[in-house]
Structure 1
Amino acid sequence: MADSASLRRVSPLDGRYASGAGVIIAPLPKRRRFSLRARENDATNLSDVLGFALPRRPKTSAESGTAAALWLGPDEWLVFAEGDVADRLAGLSGPAFATEITHRNVAIRLEGPAAEAVLGEGCPQDLRLSRFPVGACSRTVFGKVEVVIWRRSETVFEVEVWRSFSDYLWTYLAEAARAPAL
């Protein structure tokens, strides 16, 4: 039996790669994630911790340096952070709370002119650039699973999913990439 010090957590998507006409799908490297909860008036004070103001409107994100925050609800954000910012978030204690969820989620990147169409195969949300501009993010569904979609550029999306559903999502995306409805 291996001792726990020699074991490392692996992503269920390690080594996977998929592509299709106009899209490349790849797992993103591990990154620290936090579920941040704060009331309206307490959220204002978190800019000192993050180095930028939290986004306050639906479907918006903000980022600076090694941290980014995605608005998920009136009192909830998904935060990606590294280094000092992550350490400060991990140390928060009331009235705002950050729970590290690094090992709960994995992320998938879709890139290319067909990325939007491939995501549209399983997501009921309107992802057209005019309705879901660069920087937009949303908690939504894809097929049967809850995901968070973040538009990074006109042709690049990141999709966060619970690791237990990642194989299902990956298979669906890879199949949709074979013949996206452009």
Structure 2
Amino acid sequence: MSDQYRVTFVGFDADTDGQNAIERLAMKLGVPKQKVEAFTQGKFLFGISDKSKCLKQAKLLAIYGLQSKIQEVPSSSHTANNNAANERVFEALDYITSSLIRIEEKLEELEQRIDGQQKTDDDKEEEQWQSDDLFDELDLDSDPKPKSKKLLYTLLSILFVLLIVLGFSLAFPEMVQF
């Protein structure tokens, strides 16, 4: 891959009227005057191209009294790094999503087990109606205590907090350093 360059504005020649030069260049290039004015304020007039084309563009600007310089555009390694970072973020999000799906499936299984146990307990109580008289004399709590989901909700909230921290650290790695 060849190096890429871009032409940037430096200033006007000493004997050049800025407005006149802008108008003449806009007319020559067939672009609006505002675009050439934006070029003199730091925007780009020409796209990224190879060095020989940028030299021709700089010569054209010099004919109309605009001083310019050619800057090398960084290679695509920066873009490749961004793509790699984005890929890691997507992989992490995919892992998080699959983990949440597995947790949801486990919760559904536990709910089904709890519902099944309660139904079988009700069936057993109906079958043992004759022996209930013996237990009525004893002070036993026959109702099972409802299981608290506090631990489950605590673990889920910790998981979400960790997911948020992971997402933040992947989105802004320069701000979070472990």
Superposition TM-score, scaled by structure 2 size: 0.19
More strand by percentage = 1
